[in-house]
């Protein structure tokens, strides 16, 4: 019985190690080391979407190409897009010749009581390129 418990325990440890290695390889990028994005809610229906991205070395272009702000009405499970931010309309979202980049965009029409989150598409380019999608935690508009 004791032998079965030990063997089962070792099997579970091995299984978790393999899953961790598989997950790490999915998240690996030659262009992006680290990234985060966050939505902050302020009174009057104002939201800020902030992001930071780090590269392993200086990139030709680094930042975010697109941010899709999504809204969920109380009681619903569906997230609906309400606004799209693009580097084409806001040149500050993407930086040239950068090792890191942080920036904030603002949205002023949030409905108090509704939840908001953002889909953020991080981008880095140097010889090749990579895009990583990140979905922020939700916040309630004030």
- Judged against a pLDDT cut of 50, whether residue 112 lies above it is answered with yes
Region 76-90: what's the mean pLDDT?
97
Average pLDDT over residues 42-66: 98
User: Six-digit token pair at 132?
Assistant: 């990583």
Mean pLDDT in residue range 40-46? 97
pLDDT at 32 over 50: yes
Average pLDDT over residues 46-71: 98
Given a cut of 80, whether residue 29 has pLDDT beyond it is yes
Residue 54: other Cβ atoms inside 10 A: 16
Supply the pLDDT for residue 10.
41
- Cβ atoms within 10 A of the Cβ of 27, count? 8
pLDDT at 22 (0 to 100): 35
At residue 35's C-alpha, the angle toward residues 84 and 109, to 5°, is: 30
Q: H helices of the chain, where?
A: 2-27
Mean pLDDT confidence for 122-140: 97
Q: What is the pLDDT of residue 50?
A: 98
What is the structure's pLDDT at 24?
A: 38
pLDDT of amino acid 7: 44
Mean pLDDT of 113-119: 97
Tokens encoding 107: 């949205």
Residue 118: predicted pLDDT: 98
Q: Output the average pLDDT for the chain.
A: 87
């Amino acid at each position: 019985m004791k032998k079965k418990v030990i063997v089962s325990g070792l099997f579970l440890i091995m299984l978790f190690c393999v899953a961790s290695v598989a997950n790490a390889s999915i998240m690996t990028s030659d262009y992006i080391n680290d990234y985060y994005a966050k939505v902050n809610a302020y009174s009057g229906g104002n939201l800020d979407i902030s992001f930071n991205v780090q590269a392993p070395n200086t990139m030709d272009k680094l930042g975010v190409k697109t941010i899709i702000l999504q809204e969920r009405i109380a009681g619903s499970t569906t997230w609906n897009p309400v606004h799209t931010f693009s580097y084409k309309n806001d040149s500050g979202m993407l930086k040239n010749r950068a090792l890191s980049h942080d920036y904030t965009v603002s949205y002023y029409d949030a409905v108090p009581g509704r939840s908001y989150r953002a889909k953020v598409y991080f981008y880095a380019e140097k010889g090749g390129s990579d895009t990583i999608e990140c979905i922020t935690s939700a916040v309630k508009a004030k």
